[in-house]
Structure 1
Amino acid sequence: MKIKDITAKKVKLELYQLVVIAIGTIDYCETVIVKIETDEGLIGYGEGTGVTFVTGESVDTIIQAIGILKKELLGLDAFSIDTIHRVMDKTLVHNASAKAAIDLALYDIMGKYAKLPLYRLLGGIAKQMETDMTIGIGTPEEMAKEAVKIVKQGFLHIKVKAGMNPDDDIEAVRQIREAVGKSIHLKVDANQGWSVGDAIRVMQRFAEYGVEAVEQPVPHWDMDGLSFIRSKSPVSIMADESCFTPQDAIKLIKKDAVDLINIKLMKCGGLYRALQINAIAEASGIRCMLGCMMESRLGIAAGAALVASRSNFIYGDLDSFLHFKENDQVKGGFTSDGPHITLSDGYGLGIEVDF
């Protein structure tokens, strides 16, 4: 089955409210939907969502990259996922979100050909997973009120954004813990915002409030700093921006820098590379979280299928779709009830796309 055509278009996703994190503010999101057609009539859909201050990509660069990759991929076997990734990596350095869009569309095709939903194609049995909900940076009082709302919706896991002011971060976590009680699981994401010294000081306090993990406390390039923090921290350390590739995962593990790795499809280039990173982590005794950028329900359906298929994912951070108003151009894939995402039994991603 040969790749006959690859097309891409922008889709605008409307947020309910601003999302503020340590390295930027997100007030709206555009994503790229990719359509791959085969010579046997099967069609697959993928998604590429770039965040300029994380992946260095925008919707325009993603579309340009897909145009470049298309020239090299037309005529290749749609099932030859290893070859296709090698061709993409040889053609373009980085551009992970563009590669992810093509990757997801190919897995969608494979699922449709096999007449299996993606979670089954990946080897899973369970079709449901649980996600956390993220609180953006605000005043400690605002963040505590938001946490209460989230718990009332049934969420047991909350991710708290931090990294702009260490003392405010401590106070926000203190107020959130006081507001939601001891049974709610808290993780904190500093988005590279602290120094090594501040990170160690803050995490000593976070331990008092039962924080389970702190994500990316220092800049992505400072793996030595991350390693030093882990040696001093009473709280588990999770890498995010420090881990884009399987090679990054190996470096982090060799440096004893992490307890957990946050894998994102848009950051690593899709399901194929995500599976590699997870395998490296699992073989090294490192558990994983599957996170997201600002994907529509298409990208979230792919991520949820991966979590449902691999026991090494102990956390799911796939809440981006909850921050958007529903978009008629992308439907299906899963249903959600509070924190629970139940995958469709439709073949492939089970997504309906108006393309």
Structure 2
Amino acid sequence: MMIKDLQVNRRKIPLLMPFKTALRTATEIESTDVTLTLENGIIGKGAAAPTFVITGESSESIVAALTGPIKDILVGSDISHFQTLLQAIQSCCVGNSSAKAAADIALHDAYCKWLHVPLHAFLGDKKPLQTCMTIGVDAPKQMADDAKRNIDLGFKILKVKVGANPSLDIDRIEAIRDVIPKTVKLRLDANQGWTPKQAVQLINDMEKRNLGIEFVEQPVASHDLEGLKFVTERVGIPIMADESVFSAKDTLTLISGRYVDLLNIKLMKCGGISNAWKIASIAETNGVACMIGSMMEPALSVAAAAHFAAAHPNVKYFDLDAPLWLSEETQELSYVNEKVILSDLPGIGLVNTVLGTVKG
């Protein structure tokens, strides 16, 4: 079955409220939507959003990669050579991980629709998914209010952004703890906002105060692997790499050097589902559990990540709340409080003109 065409569309999606981290404040996302059309009319959808401070990509660079080298290797190719095409997406240009992720997602969606199976079934499982909800970095009182509001909405795990002002971070966590039940788990994400020594001091202090921290994500700069290891070896709370892990090669480095305890996989960082599977499997072989995360990105790409997470046995933690921040209705997956519900329609679950399915 030949791939007949690849089309790209850009659009902006406002957020319901500003999303604040130690690296940036976002009020909207720029979604680059990819449509693959097979010769029989089957349509595969993918999407990406740029996060310049993490992947180095802009909307313009994502479009250039998709309409240039990626389109060249996909259009006119036979989708039955699925694995070969996945490899070709990764090797057709340097970098451009989010553009590659969009194409990888679209190819998976089209292939699964061609086989008439849901993406999670093609990948091999469908375990339950329970997402955390992110609390953006802000003044302690505001973060506490946001935390209580989300607990009242039914979330049982909060991912708390810190690092923008390290001197306030203890106050932020204590303010949140004062207004939520002790049973609520807190995950911290410093987004590279601390020095190694700051991280050790702050994390050990939090541990002494019994603040109920499940793990701490990317406490130091992404390139500072020795600093990451310095922190991991000196605190009791598990340390997770995020911006330090983009690829299977990064995974081998982090695991073999015992730099961290956990890994955060994001499709926009690693280039899509095919590479995400490699990362999770390498980590599994070495006894290191993974989380599936998301940038501030469209629901379609988050849904693809959710299908992957439901299928891979080594994805133990789930951070899939990005669609809940968007002003548009989510059509690719649904939420019941903290539970993420995947579609059982072919592919990711979007409308297909040939199959005659409905969105779900």
Which TM-score bucket, shorter chain as reference?
over 0.9
Give 1:118 deviation, angstroms: 1.0
Partner of 1:117: 118
2:102 equivalent in structure 1 = 101
Cα deviation for residue 294 of structure 1 reads 1.7
Which residues of 2 match residues 1-355 of structure 1 at below 5 A? 1-68=1-68, 69-126=70-127, 128-207=128-207, 208-327=210-329, 332-352=331-351
Q: 1: CA distance between counterparts of 2:81 and 2:264?
A: 27
RMSD between superposed Cα atoms in Å: 1.5
User: What is the letter of the counterpart of residue 334 of structure 2?
Assistant: T
Post-superposition offset of 1:296: 1.8
1:114 CA displacement: 1.7
> Matched residues in 2 for 1:118 and 1:85: separation?
15
84-93 or 237-246, which deviates more = 84-93
Report the secondary structure of 1:186's partner residue: strand
CA displacement 1:141-165 (0-9 Å, x = unmatched)? 1101111011001101100001122
Please give the alpha-carbon distance, in whole angstroms, between the structure 2 residues aligned to 1:78 and 1:205. Answer: 54
Secondary structure, aligned partner of 2:125: coil
Cα shift readout 1:158-195 (whole Å, capped 9, x = no counterpart)? 00001122221111111111211210010000001110
The 3-state SS of whatever aligns with 1:14 is strand
Which runs of 5 or more structure 2 residues have no equivalent in the other structure?
A: 353-358
Q: Distance in 2 between matches of 1:97 and 1:210?
A: 34
User: Percent identity among equivalent residues?
Assistant: 38
Deviation at 1:44, TM superposition (A): 0.3
In the aligned structure 2, how far is the partner of 1:224 from the partner of 1:255? 9
Counterpart Cα distance in 2 of 1:106 and 1:91: 15
Amino acid at match of 1:335: S
The CA deviation string for residues 262-298 of structure 1, in whole angstroms up to 9 with x for no partner, is 0001110110000000000111100011000122221
* Higher mean C-alpha deviation, range 73-82 or range 309-318: 73-82
Q: Contact between 1:192 and 1:216, CA under 8 Å: does it hold in 2?
A: yes
TM-score between the two structures when normalised by the length of structure 2: 0.94
Assess if the C-alpha contact under 8 Å between 2:7 and 2:35 holds in 1: yes
Distance in 2, Cα, partners of 1:337 & 1:30: 26
Matches of 1:263 and 1:175 in 2, distance apart?
A: 29
Task: Decide whether aligned partners of structure 1 residues 220 and 37 sit closer, same or farther in structure 2, where only a CA change above 3 A counts.
Answer: same
Distance in 2, Cα, partners of 1:296 & 1:79: 28
Q: How many residues align?
A: 350
Partner SS state of residue 17, structure 2: coil
* Separation of aligned partners in 1, 2:109 and 2:88: 19
| CA shift for structure 1 position 310 | 2.0
- Aligned counterparts of 1:244 and 1:268: Cα–Cα separation in 2: 5
Q: Is residue 90–residue 271 contact of structure 2 (8 Å, CA) maintained in 1?
A: no
Secondary structure of 1:53's counterpart equals helix
Separation (CA, whole Å) in 2 of partners of 1:309 and 1:334? 15
SS in 2 for 1:41: coil
1:332–1:352 CA contact under 8 A, matched in 2: no
Structure 1 residue 82, shift from structure 2 partner: 3.3
> Cα distance, 1:325 vs. partner?
1.1
Shift of 1:81: 3.8
Deviation at 1:140, TM superposition (A): 0.7
Q: 1: CA distance between counterparts of 2:126 and 2:72? A: 37
CA distance in 1, matches of 2:55, 2:351: 27
Q: Aligned equivalents of 1:3 and 1:49: distance in 2?
A: 24
